[in-house]
Structure 1
């Protein structure tokens, strides 16, 4: 996610705490938050797909293989 979008999320948050948001700004905030959460989930999924587990018998199982079961 771009730094500009994160900055805008923070601006809207601070404005909501001080003077409140218009309906358009509330919609923008909700949209930006959804995009942010989606980006976090994509990044987390990418990281977890790279994780491997060492089984007691010494074999290695990738986390992505466990997800398929």
Structure 2
């Protein structure tokens, strides 16, 4: 599932980065760029955290070795039966 927020802000981030390398940015654009980057990083971390929380880890013998911290989060979110 693609993140619609990221789909919208990434092109603008890239546009501002390209302009910064060329003609430079106005103060308003610099503030916008910083805000967009902050939103991007926050959203990226949220998405990455969700992926990790959904994961189960197994060793070579097929035994589950998911860290207990992740198991607790999964139990809290009713993603585990144990």
Q: Please confirm whether the aligned pair reaches a TM-score higher than 0.5, indicating the same fold.
A: yes
Greater percentage in strand: 1
Between the two structures, name the one with larger relative contact order (CA 8 Å, sep ≥ 6).
1
Q: Tell me how large the CA RMSD over aligned residues is.
A: 2.4
Segments of structure 2 that go 5 or more residues without pairing to the other structure are 74-82
Segments of structure 1 that go 5 or more residues without pairing to the other structure are none
CA distance in 1, matches of 2:62, 2:8: 46
Structure 2-normalised TM-score?
A: 0.66
Structure 1-normalised TM-score?
A: 0.77
Aligned residues: 67
Of the candidates 4, 14, 22, which is equivalent to residue 26 of structure 2? Answer: 22
Query: Structure 1 runs of 4+ off > 6 angstroms?
Result: none
